[in-house]
Amino acid sequence: MAHPNIALIKYWGKRDEEWVLPAADSLSLTLDVFPTTTGVRLAPQAAGDRVLLGGQEATGPAQARVADFLHLVRELAGRREPAVVDSRNTVPTGAGLASSASGFAALAVAAAAAYGLAADPAALSRLARRGSGSACRSLFGGFAQWHAALDAGGGAAADRVSLAEPVPAAAGLEVALVIVVVNAGPKAVSSRAAMRRTVATSPLYRPWVASSVQDLTQMRAALAAGDLNAVGEITERNALGMHATMLAARPAVRYLAPASLTALDAVLALRERGLAAYATMDAGPNVKVLCAAGQASQVAAALREAVPQASVVVARPGPGARLVAGDGR
Ligand code: PMV
């Protein structure tokens, strides 16, 4: 079972598609809401892998993506048997709510156990990365940093060291993430395709990567100091910068909707009232607002009022992915 994570310093763009190696480090918060529970059961007599998503038989690209991942696990484990994967998400899939992060983190844990692969969190983080980059961070609870491992170059050498690690934060830093679900439908452009287009065509991409490297250093210092305002400011500017790179891609990728901007206005109004509230957005129109845990209900109420059609969920830091009894359904 695994929970989604939301990046405060974003991963946007790969330097190596095959090995899922990112252009820069990223840093996230694992949440305590919307878990994915995944069972992997070996089926030696079956003709191929079966994939059930929410109880429905998956076909086409959704089935293929899971089967490709199982193929990788089998290769690493020196095994051949197909499997039945039974995965249940409690979050809308493909809506920029990190369903692929919780999905592939849960699958990595369950598949490694089913095929008898060594399963320390670092190895599982590397494995989950191959399914969906951001998934490597969901192996850890709280704040986690995914190392791009640029020094290791590319290919198999970088594969060994590009993984996530927990990031310590000051004990007094008690945060919440208020999630404003303005649209739970699947996005028009996948994050994979959008990243590829941004890297290939956006003149703002390289400058954003350079600023993201600085954001990460400053974010680590702000977390260590327990400075929520600094954490929030860095979070918001990093996300807006990422969206700027996409808007400048050719053709543009625009995930933000009118209701997203209404939520951003509400966040600004909260700050003007003296609350520490800062927004971040991923590959979808939904807005996540970082704030002090003690002010989360106030922040959530303001967002419900500003965006009445949205559903608003308050999340707190959650645990890393783990094997639970019954995962081998
Ligand atoms: O892991 P992917 O391929 O779903 O990409 C996730 C990208 C963002 O959510 C936009 C940013 C991030 O770091 O999670």
Helix (H, G, I), strand (E, B) or coil at 86: strand
Q: What are residue 155's phi and psi, to 5 degrees?
A: 55, -145
192 lines ligand 1 (CB under 6 A): yes
Quick count: other Cβ atoms within 10 Å of Cβ 252? 12
Atom of ligand 1 nearest to the CA of 282: 10
CA of 288 to the centre of ligand 1 (A): 14
Task: Tell me how far CA of residue 175 lies from CA of 98, 205, 236, 293, in angstroms.
Answer: 19, 30, 15, 5
Picking from 95, 110, 97, 107, the residue whose alpha carbon sits closest to that of residue 34 is 97
**Distance of alpha carbon 132 from alpha carbon 130, whole angstroms:** 6
pLDDT beyond 60 at 328: no
CA of 225 to the centre of ligand 1 (A): 26
Mean pLDDT of the chain: 95
CA of 6 to the centre of ligand 1 (A): 8
**Distance of alpha carbon 215 from alpha carbon 139, whole angstroms:** 23
Q: How confident is the model at residue 327 (pLDDT cuts 50, 70, 90)?
A: low
132 lines ligand 1 (CB under 6 A): yes
Q: What is the pLDDT averaged over residues 166-175?
A: 97
115 lines ligand 1 (CB under 6 A): no
Res 118: pLDDT: 81
Res 186: pLDDT: 74
User: pLDDT digits over 179-210, tens only?
Assistant: 999 987 777 899 999 999 999 999 999 999 99
**Distance of alpha carbon 209 from alpha carbon 203, whole angstroms:** 11
7 lines ligand 1 (CB under 6 A): yes
CA of 26 to the centre of ligand 1 (A): 10
Atom of ligand 1 nearest to the CA of 11: 13
Q: How confident is the model at residue 216 (pLDDT cuts 50, 70, 90)?
A: very high
Residues 6+ apart with CB under 8 A from 44: 81, 82
Res 326: pLDDT: 65
CA of 133 to the centre of ligand 1 (A): 7
**Distance of alpha carbon 174 from alpha carbon 180, whole angstroms:** 20
User: pLDDT digits over 72-120, tens only?
Assistant: 999 999 999 999 999 998 876 666 676 789 999 999 999 999 999 988 9
pLDDT beyond 90 at 59: yes
Q: In a 10 Å sphere around its CB, with 0-12 CB exposed, 13-18 middle and 19+ buried, how is residue 17 labelled?
A: exposed
Sign of CA dihedral 213, 218, 219, 220: positive
**Distance of alpha carbon 1 from alpha carbon 109, whole angstroms:** 8
Res 119: pLDDT: 84
